[in-house]
Amino acid sequence: MSDPTDTIEIHIPIDHDRLTAVDALSAETGLSRQAIKQAMNKGAVWLSRATHTQRLRRASKALKPGDELHLYYNPTVLAMQTEKAQLIADEGDYSVWYKPSGMLSQGSKWGDHCTIGRWVEQHIQPQRPAFVVHRLDRAASGLVLIAHGKKVAAALSKLFQHHQIEKHYAAIVQGQFPTPPTVTTINADIDAKPAVSHIRLVEYDANQDCSLLDVEIETGRKHQIRKHLSGEGFPILGDRLYNPSENHSLDLQLTAISLSFTCPLTGAMHHYELEQSMRPQL
């Protein structure tokens, strides 16, 4: 019998019918039915049927000969918890949410219960499928755009691909960021790809020697803002990757604070902005 604290990866070919997924997995692993059901709900169980593989959440799902079950059971992943996401605007075909620091933009084969997409599927009313259109770093917080259909997701993704969405972030960095010129542009490749960030000083606190910045990005490379600011000598507070000398009691002080774009469905201009209380403060 498997220990529920063990990590398990197992693949089970199904050769007869009238067998449910929870029974098959429990019999093969020795885990309790309750443990299997919890793993299913958190996205750690997958079903392959013909050429298609997807997460399986329904414990009573009847299996067919030729199916294959996959369990990716990691107690550490399954025990993860995050703060609640908050709905900012529901436009029907898509919605805008506040993602807290620590919540993932994308899950893995080991689970998806701590992702913004899964949170939206479980909490939006009426319930709809959720497709994450763009990502925020796990450590970052702020506005995320969620589509509720594949065609809408594709249309919104094109806006990001063609730089037709204006994105602003608030960041608190160590040091006094220069004021002239009014906007500082950092044009430095990341992973051999072009990356452009425009940065404006909002406020400087001499007592803390920290600067509050407004950052607009033209591109969306991984860790772009964090790398650009750290490379210029202004690492973001709470950044465990690019500010190793920092006191890490703080969450990463980087928040996506606004999104502006022309809706591809209606042609109307939309602007979404976080209220001040949800932004980094000096």
Domain annotation covers residue 266: no
Q: CATH code at 181?
A: 3.30.2350.10
Distances (CA, A) of 256 to 97, 134, 214, 260: 11, 12, 10, 12
Residue with the two structure tokens 């689970």: 111
Q: Which of 35, 62, 78 is the last residue of a domain?
A: 78
Q: Specify the pLDDT at position 82.
A: 93
Q: Specify the pLDDT at position 62.
A: 86
Number of domains in the chain: 3
Domain annotation covers residue 72: yes
pTM summary value:
0.91
Q: Which of 78, 105, 121 is the last residue of a domain?
A: 78
CB neighbour list of residue 106: distance below 8 Å, 6 or more residues apart: 115, 117, 132, 135
Cβ(54)–Cβ(15) under 8 Å?
no
The ranges of the chain with pLDDT < 50 are none
Same domain for 180 and 246? yes
Tens digits of residue pLDDT in 72-116: 999 999 999 999 999 999 999 999 999 999 999 999 999 999 999
Cβ(247)–Cβ(203) under 8 Å?
no
Same domain for 159 and 183? no
Cβ(215)–Cβ(169) under 8 Å?
yes
Q: Which of 164, 186, 215 is the last residue of a domain?
A: 164
Domain range for 69: 8-78
Query: Beta 141-147 vs 254-262: how paired, if at all?
Result: parallel
| Numbers of helices and strands, H then E, in the chain | 6, 14
Nearest to 114 by CA among 80, 155, 70: 80
Tens digits of residue pLDDT in 15-38: 887 788 999 999 999 999 999 999
Same domain for 48 and 120? no
Q: Specify the pLDDT at position 180.
A: 72
Same domain for 208 and 248? yes
